[in-house]
């Protein structure tokens, strides 16, 4: 079940076909791919990335070119959750989990990997996880048990929690939970290693879109919305056909930590339903199926992250 934090929502004044764009928008959390400290011995030969609203799937091929076996720690950081700004927004969190809220899984050469997990409760640059654990407070600030445990603190402990910045002025958890899954990976000399991972993305969005009416310049720029899509949305609006927006952010720049640029990179964005639309910034994007769009690169080092806009045709249309 998708969980939405709704402690505070700001109503938007814009109206679209008599329907207010208010109280039904949510923000997304940006995740990405695997992270390795900068390596002078391991190349990322290929990266196949597929993104839809249902799943993010990535398949890497790594090659150790050093002439001897290398053991390196590979990590997957989940996006941080918590902090005052999170409780002031409606944030999309796919799973009700205290740790793996994206349902992240990984395989190496087809076999599941046993991963270690590190969690930090960050207040600024200081990790307060030890204090929270010592006082019986769960580390996941976005779930109810953390708030309930804070309310059970003695007056003295509550005063210390406030001094440490763990509680905001309204009594809500103020730390950010940083969760990283990691494992030691052996890269045999000269032998390709295939690493695959999959997770459910955090999809932000709103119940309606201004595209087709008075499109916001920032939306057009951020997702490289072209004239053809704007025309299609104008025609839909004229027919009283409505669309909702969905947003996914993906961190691509972690692909820059390898010995060389990515040898062969392939991105597929799947809008999943033919009647929907998708838009994102990319060069040489081509349609390869009714719902799928592909971009390929050779010897590529990402310099910026990826933002994808999905426009889903609403079922209550006339």
Backbone angles phi, psi at 303, to 5 degrees: -115, -10
Asked if residue 137 has pLDDT above 90, the reply is yes
- For residue 227, the model assigns a pLDDT of 95
Averaged pLDDT, 15-41: 59
Backbone angles phi, psi at 140, to 5 degrees: -80, 100
pLDDT band of residue 255 (cuts 50, 70, 90) is low
pLDDT 10s digits, 149-174: 999 999 999 999 999 999 988 888 99
Any idea how long the chain is? 318
CB 134, CB 160: distance < 8 Å: no
Asked if residue 232 has pLDDT above 90, the reply is yes
Domains and CATH numbers, the chain: 3-119+179-313 (2.60.40.3680), 129-174 (no CATH)
Alpha helices per DSSP H over 176-249: 217-222, 227-238
Torsion sign, CA atoms 60, 63, 68, 72: negative
Averaged pLDDT, 90-108: 88
Tokens in use for 236? 């839909």
Rounded to an integer, what distance in angstroms lies between the CA atom of residue 123 and that of residue 118? Answer: 16
Please report, rounded to a whole number, the percentage of residues in the chain having pLDDT higher than 70.
87
Asked if residue 11 has pLDDT above 70, the reply is no
Torsion sign, CA atoms 237, 241, 244, 246: negative
Tokens in use for 140? 């996941």
Please report, rounded to a whole number, the percentage of residues in the chain having pLDDT higher than 90.
65
Rounded to an integer, what distance in angstroms lies between the CA atom of residue 241 and that of residue 53? Answer: 21
- For residue 26, the model assigns a pLDDT of 60
Q: Between 139 and 99, whose confidence is greater?
A: 139
pTM: 0.85
- Cβ of 265: how many Cβ atoms within 10 Å? 21
């Amino acid at each position: 079940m998708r969980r939405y934090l709704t402690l505070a929502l700001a109503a938007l004044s814009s109206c679209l076909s008599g329907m207010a764009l208010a109280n039904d928008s949510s923000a997304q959390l940006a995740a990405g791919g695997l992270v390795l400290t900068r390596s002078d011995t391991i190349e990322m030969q290929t990266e196949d990335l597929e993104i839809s609203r249902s799943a993010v799937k990535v398949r890497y091929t790594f090659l150790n070119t050093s002439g001897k076996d290398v053991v390196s720690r590979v990590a997957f950081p989940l996006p941080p959750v918590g902090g005052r700004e999170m409780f002031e927004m409606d944030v999309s969190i796919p799973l009700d989990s205290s740790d793996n809220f994206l349902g992240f899984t990984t395989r190496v050469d087809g076999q599941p990997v046993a991963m270690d997990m590190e969690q930090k409760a960050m207040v600024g640059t200081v990790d307060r996880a030890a204090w929270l654990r010592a006082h019986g407070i769960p580390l996941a600030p976005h779930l109810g048990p953390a708030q309930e445990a804070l309310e059970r603190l003695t007056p003295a402990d509550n005063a210390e929690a406030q001094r440490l910045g763990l509680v905001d002025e309204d009594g809500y958890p103020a730390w950010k939970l940083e969760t990283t899954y990691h494992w030691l990976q052996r890269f045999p000399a000269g032998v390709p290693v295939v690493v695959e991972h999959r997770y459910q993305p955090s999809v932000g969005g709103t119940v309606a879109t201004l595209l087709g009416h008075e499109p916001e310049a920032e939306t057009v720029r951020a997702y490289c919305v072209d004239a053809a899509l704007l025309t299609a949305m104008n025609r839909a609006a004229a027919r009283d056909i409505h669309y909702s927006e969905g947003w996914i952010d993906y961190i691509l720049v972690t692909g820059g930590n390898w010995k060389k640029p990515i040898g062969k990179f392939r991105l597929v964005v799947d809008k999943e339903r033919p009647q929907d639309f998708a838009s994102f910034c990319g060069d040489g994007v081509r349609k390869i199926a009714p719902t799928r769009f592909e971009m390929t690169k050779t010897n590529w080092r990402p310099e910026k992250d990826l933002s994808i806009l999905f426009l889903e045709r609403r079922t209550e249309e006339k």
